């Protein structure tokens, strides 16, 4: 990922960025100035099984996890502000109970989930590339869900027409807007005032996708540990104060500020800070059906948000609590809603 390798706050050892990628680095298009691009292995792309990193992407890990939004950047995230803002940590697959309910079992395959919520600096890279940063049809598909067809080009019409329109849109009038037209003191703050389509478009452009509701809940629950809070050890511990999460607060803080609040796999701010858009359409009650990497892929304009927010009470932070799962219209934008990206393994 961006910056030098080392041990992130999540505890994962990350190789030096720019190490050779393995068949997943880039967008799959062999451009005129490239000698290799294994974004999608296909005959005639000029690549072998191992490929150097495509210009404009940052890749690390084995197998490689790639992103665009930290290309050329320096590590500025976390409680010490020297960690990779694009760090993605492996969530080991397994089984768990959705909403900690034995009638709602689910199976989740291993996937990567970003250590941090999407920051302003990362979204700025998307804005600078816009509108060419709009995803192509089918990009960002969840390989673990055969029903997932990825980005739908019909959503293009629901995105701002040009860069000026996107900038105007994220300059929402709601409270603690984190975006500034000129980069300043909020670059490491969670990006808010984005709608669902912009969140999905960013994640796909960045080499990932939105996590499903089941994936997000699995990560926040510590898998089959069924944690009360993402940091709860033992699992039903209700230890909570302002050193674990940002809640009951008046202002936002940089992503990853609450180091004690990391989840089982190292992700931070899974409770509090900003609510996070996930892939799923909203259902007031989870279906008691088999869930094997399931997602509610309805095209309904009502989408699910998870995690609670900086100005919410403690009761919104319980991973299985009713207030932790909420909904908004997909085109809605608030200072309390941002996102984080998932990535296929």
What are the sequence ranges of the domains in the chain?
1-67
% of the chain residues with pLDDT over 70: 83
Question: DSSP string covering 254-289, please?
Answer: -TT--GGG--TTS---SSSSSEEEEEEEP-SS---S
pLDDT in tens, 106-159: 999 999 999 999 999 999 999 999 999 999 899 899 999 999 999 999 999 999
* Residue 118 contacts residue 191 (beta carbons within 8 Å): yes
93 Cβ contact list (under 8 Å, min separation 6): 107, 108, 109, 110, 111
Token output for 238 = 């209700």
Give the chain's length: 345
User: Cα torsion at 92, 343, 316, 8 (round to 10°)?
Assistant: 70
Q: Determine whether 79 is exposed, middle or buried from the number of CB atoms within 10 Å of its CB (0-12, 13-18, 19+).
A: middle
* Residue 345 contacts residue 111 (beta carbons within 8 Å): yes
Token output for 198 = 């912009």
CA atoms of 83 and 7, how far apart (whole Å): 9
Token output for 61 = 């890990």
pLDDT for 117? 98
pLDDT band at 175 (very low <50, low <70, confident <90, very high): confident
% of the chain residues with pLDDT over 90: 73
**Model confidence, pTM:** 0.88
Token output for 98 = 């959705």
Q: H or E stretch including 213? A: helix 213-221
CA atoms of 167 and 177, how far apart (whole Å): 12
Helix, strand, coil percentages in the chain from 3-state DSSP, rounded to 5:
15, 15, 65
CA atoms of 12 and 186, how far apart (whole Å): 26
CA atoms of 151 and 149, how far apart (whole Å): 7
Residue carrying the six token digits 């909203």: 282
Of the given ranges (193-197, 286-290, 307-311), which has the lowest mean pLDDT?
286-290
pLDDT(253) > 80: yes
* Angle formed at CA 113 by CA 196 and CA 193, multiple of 5 degrees: 25
Q: Tally Cβ neighbours within 10 Å of residue 35.
A: 10
pLDDT band at 46 (very low <50, low <70, confident <90, very high): very low
pLDDT(7) > 80: no
For the chain, the average pLDDT equals 86
Q: Determine whether 220 is exposed, middle or buried from the number of CB atoms within 10 Å of its CB (0-12, 13-18, 19+).
A: buried
Supply the DSSP symbol for 41: -
More confident residue, 99 or 285: 99
CA atoms of 328 and 305, how far apart (whole Å): 7
Residue 326 DSSP SS3: strand
């Amino acid at each position: 990922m961006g910056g030098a390798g080392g041990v992130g706050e999540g505890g994962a050892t990350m190789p030096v960025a720019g190490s050779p990628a393995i068949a997943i680095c880039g967008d799959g298009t062999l451009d005129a100035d490239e000698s290799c691009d294994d974004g999608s292995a296909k005959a005639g792309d000029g690549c072998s099984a191992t490929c150097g990193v495509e210009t404009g992407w940052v890749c690390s890990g084995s197998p490689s996890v790639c992103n665009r939004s930290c290309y050329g950047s320096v590590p500025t995230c976390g409680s010490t502000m020297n960690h990779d803002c694009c760090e993605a940590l492996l969530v080991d697959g397994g089984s768990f109970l959705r909403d900690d309910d034995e009638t709602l079992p689910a199976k989740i395959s291993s996937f990567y989930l970003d250590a941090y919520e999407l920051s302003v600096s990362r979204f700025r890279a998307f804005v600078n590339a816009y509108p060419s940063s709009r995803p192509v049809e089918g990009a960002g598909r969840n390989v673990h869900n055969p029903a997932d067809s990825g980005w739908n080009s019909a959503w293009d019409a629901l995105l701002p027409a040009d860069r000026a329109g996107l900038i105007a849109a994220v300059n929402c009038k709601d409270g603690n807007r984190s975006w500034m037209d000129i980069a300043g003191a909020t670059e490491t703050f969670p990006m808010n005032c984005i709608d669902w389509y912009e969140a999905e478009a960013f994640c796909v452009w960045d080499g990932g996708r939105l996590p499903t509701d089941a994936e997000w809940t699995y990560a926040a629950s510590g898998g089959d540990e069924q944690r009360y809070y993402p940091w709860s050890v033992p699992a039903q511990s209700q230890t909570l104060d302002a050193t674990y999460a940002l809640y009951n607060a008046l202002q936002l803080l940089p992503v990853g500020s609450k180091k004690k609040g990391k989840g089982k796999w190292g992700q931070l701010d899974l409770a509090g800070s900003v609510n996070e858009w996930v892939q799923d359409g909203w259902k007031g009650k989870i279906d008691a059906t088999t869930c094997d990497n399931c997602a509610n892929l309805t095209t309904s304009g009502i989408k699910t948000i998870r995690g609670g927010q900086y100005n919410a009470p403690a009761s919104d932070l319980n991973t299985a609590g009713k207030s932790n799962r909420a909904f908004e219209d997909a085109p809605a934008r608030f200072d309390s809603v941002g996102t984080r990206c998932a990535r296929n393994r």
